[in-house]
């Protein structure tokens, strides 16, 4: 203990200020999963990871492509002749073919309605690195970005920790399906001003993590008008652009500014291949800025988080294969839609709603009616039961700075069909049990609040019995038959 204390004092304030945000339920859930991971054969009662926004549903297509294109991987007989040239390349502009392919891919994902200049593409270590890079370029320590809630918890780390930049929440709520209103923006802006915090920008995520919704044309136009009038930056995280699996289609900020007479120097896009392609391990992050000075500064900074040239070469080759890409994007969308439907409909049947959504690798589950009271404490109590007894790592809304307790983000694309069905059964049974208890407690008059802490270890036994009606869409789904 004394050693830790002494050692802590030897480190910088930033290194020891908890700015990483690791001590939050968002990351605690991951730890709970790591210490007891579910496996259908070896640990069927373990925790199922539903707190990780990963896109693993279409890897068979990627694997097939890699097998068919051995030259793209330089550690193969076919690729080895490029090995030396790629291994010694170290220009922080990146391989020209990589930037060209990324620009084309970003266009394709946006329906070829916009064009991107490869010379404006700057590499970063994932969207994580891209956000920090932009925060560094656009704001000084103590200055702030407005961020509509609920928002991705990683932003607290990515934008704030090493830059000293602040985030000011723009409070959105379920009364209008968490839409960002002019009123909420102005209120957040004024509040920051009253606290003597200088607002330098607005950060939006479209499609939204955690909501799985997209921003419509009108909202985007209003946001551009707002930032233009205030003369602040607009940073658009479009990392989930190709995960839109149902109508309406995705609208990029690039389309909006084409039709608006705004100051383009204020517009910046963050992108990455972590979600659309499912490659978080490759750390391919992109800053696309319409501002020359930002491009120049960010380019110099990219030395701190370059994408390996081996990865650049592979990605350049894969993203240049148009017919593969078309097939991949379409198939990935279909598989995401199927997953989303199976899950949300399965929950609907036991009375659990979720925010209507058409994008992302997750949905926003509404468990408000299972709370004792509408407080964060009650939400955390429910979350602890879900993680410790139902054995599902879903993420509580409070970790996304949601203003209303009782919402949970459920990730559905990071597991196989079999695991998904176990997860679905666990939630359904949990809710059914909770309902039974609710009825019982009402019958017995005033038995205080729901005693949700059931013997959930028994749940897996219950789950093995077919509680789903044979007439339900779930029962007839091939996914159910597979289990």
Ligand X SMILES: Cc1ncc(COP(=O)(O)O)c(C=O)c1O
Between residue 51 and residue 70, which ones bind ligand X under the rule CB under 6 A?
Answer: 53
Which residue's C-beta sits nearest to ligand X? 126
- Listing DSSP states for 271-293 in one string gives EESTTTS--GGG-EEEEEES-HH
Q: For the chain, how far is it from start to end, CA to CA, in angstroms?
A: 49
- Alpha-carbon 209 to chain mean position: 4
Check 152, 189, 271, 290 and give the catalytic one.
Answer: 152
Between residue 276 and residue 295, which ones bind ligand X under the rule CB under 6 A?
Answer: 280, 285
Q: For ligand X, give the closer residue by CB, 152 or 364.
A: 152
State yes or no: is 200 an active-site residue: no
Q: For ligand X, give the closer residue by CB, 226 or 271.
A: 271
One residue of 243, 252, 274, 342 binding ligand X per CB under 6 A: 274
Q: For ligand X, give the closer residue by CB, 205 or 477.
A: 205
Assess contact for 363 and 344: CB atoms under 8 A.
yes
Check 200, 230, 275, 391 and give the catalytic one.
Answer: 275
State yes or no: is 152 an active-site residue: yes
Instruction: Reduce the DSSP state of residue 319 to 3 states and report it.
Output: helix
CB of 109 to ligand X, least distance (A): 15
Spatial distance between the Cα atoms of 147 and 136, rounded to a whole number of angstroms: 17
Q: For ligand X, give the closer residue by CB, 230 or 409.
A: 409
Spatial distance between the Cα atoms of 246 and 3, rounded to a whole number of angstroms: 55
CB of 307 to ligand X, least distance (A): 11
State yes or no: is 193 an active-site residue: no
Size of the site for ligand X (CB under 6 A): 14
Residue 90, judged by CB atoms within 10 A of its CB (0-12, 13-18, 19+), counts as exposed
Spatial distance between the Cα atoms of 116 and 228, rounded to a whole number of angstroms: 22
Q: For ligand X, give the closer residue by CB, 127 or 295.
A: 127
Scored b (16 or more CB within 10 A) or e, 371-390 reads beeeebebbebbbbbbbebb
One residue of 133, 214, 239, 269 binding ligand X per CB under 6 A: 239
Between residue 123 and residue 162, which ones bind ligand X under the rule CB under 6 A?
Answer: 126-128, 152, 154
Contact flag: residue 49 with ligand X (CB under 6 A)? no
Q: For ligand X, give the closer residue by CB, 239 or 423.
A: 239
Spatial distance between the Cα atoms of 185 and 223, rounded to a whole number of angstroms: 9
Spatial distance between the Cα atoms of 402 and 372, rounded to a whole number of angstroms: 18
Site string for ligand X, 195-214 (x = CB under 6 A): ----------x---x-----
Check 156, 237, 276, 366 and give the catalytic one.
Answer: 237
Sorted by sequence, the CB contacts under 8 Å of residue 373 that are 6+ apart come out as none
User: Does residue 277 have a cis peptide bond before it, meaning omega lies within 30 degrees of 0?
Assistant: no
The one segment of 122-130, 168-176, 195-203, 345-353 that binds ligand X by CB under 6 A: 122-130
Check 180, 239, 286, 329 and give the catalytic one.
Answer: 239
Spatial distance between the Cα atoms of 437 and 417, rounded to a whole number of angstroms: 30
CB of 460 to ligand X, least distance (A): 30
The one segment of 82-90, 104-112, 120-128, 437-445 that binds ligand X by CB under 6 A: 120-128
Spatial distance between the Cα atoms of 60 and 127, rounded to a whole number of angstroms: 25
* Site residues for ligand X per CB under 6 A: 53, 126-128, 152, 154, 205, 209, 237, 239, 272, 274, 280, 285
Residues marked active site are found at: 152, 237, 239, 275
């Amino acid at each position: 203990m004394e050693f830790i204390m002494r050692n802590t004092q030897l480190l910088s304030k930033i290194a020891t200020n908890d700015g990483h945000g690791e001590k939050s339920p968002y990351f605690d859930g991951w730890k709970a999963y790591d210490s007891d991971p579910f496996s259908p054969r070896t640990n069927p009662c373990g925790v199922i990871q539903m707190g990780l926004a990963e896109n693993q549903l279409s890897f068979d297509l990627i694997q097939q492509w890699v097998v068919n294109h051995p030259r793209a991987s330089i550690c193969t007989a076919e690729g080895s002749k490029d090995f030396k040239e790629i291994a010694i390349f170290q220009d922080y502009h990146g391989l020209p073919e990589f930037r060209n392919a990324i620009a084309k891919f970003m266009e394709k994902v946006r329906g070829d309605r916009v064009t991107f200049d490869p010379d404006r593409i700057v590499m970063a270590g994932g969207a994580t690195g891209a956000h920090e890079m932009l925060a560094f370029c656009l704001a000084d320590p103590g200055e702030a970005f407005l961020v509509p809630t609920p928002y991705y918890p990683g932003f607290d780390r990515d934008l704030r920790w090493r830059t000293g930049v602040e985030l000011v929440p723009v409070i959105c709520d379920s009364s209008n399906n968490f839409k960002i209103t002019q009123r909420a923006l102005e209120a957040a802006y004024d509040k920051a001003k009253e606290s003597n915090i200088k607002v330098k920008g607005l950060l939006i995520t479209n499609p939204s993590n955690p909501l799985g919704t997209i921003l419509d044309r009108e909202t985007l136009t209003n946001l551009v008008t707002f930032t233009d009038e205030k003369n602040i930056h607009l940073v658009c995280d479009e990392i989930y652009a190709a995960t839109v699996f149902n109508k309406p289609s995705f609208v990029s900020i690039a389309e909006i500014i084409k039709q608006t007479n705004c100051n383009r120097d204020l517009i910046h896009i963050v992108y990455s291949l972590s979600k659309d392609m499912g490659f978080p391990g490759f750390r391919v992050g992109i800053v696309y800025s319409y501002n020359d000075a930002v491009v120049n500064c960010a380019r110099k900074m990219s030395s701190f988080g370059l994408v390996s040239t081996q990865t650049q070469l592979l990605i350049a080759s894969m993203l240049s294969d148009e017919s593969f890409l078309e097939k991949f994007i379409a198939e990935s969308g279909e598989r995401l839609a199927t997953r989303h439907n199976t899950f949300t409909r399965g929950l609907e049947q036991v009375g659990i709603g979720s925010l209507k959504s058409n994008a992302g690798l997750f949905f926003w589950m509404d468990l408000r009616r299972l709370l004792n009271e509408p407080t964060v404490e009650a939400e955390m109590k429910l979350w602890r039961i879900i993680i410790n007894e139902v054995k599902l790592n879903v993420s509580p809304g409070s970790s996304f700075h949601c203003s209303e307790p009782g919402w949970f983000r459920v990730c559905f694309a990071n597991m196989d069909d079999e695991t998904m069905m176990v997860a679905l059964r666990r939630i359904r049974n949990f809710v059914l049990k909770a309902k039974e208890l609710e009825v019982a407690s009402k019958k017995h008059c005033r038995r205080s609040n729901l005693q949700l802490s059931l013997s959930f270890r028994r749940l897996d036994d219950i789950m093995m019995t077919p509680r789903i009606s044979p007439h339900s869409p779930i029962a007839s789904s091939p996914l159910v038959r597979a289990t």
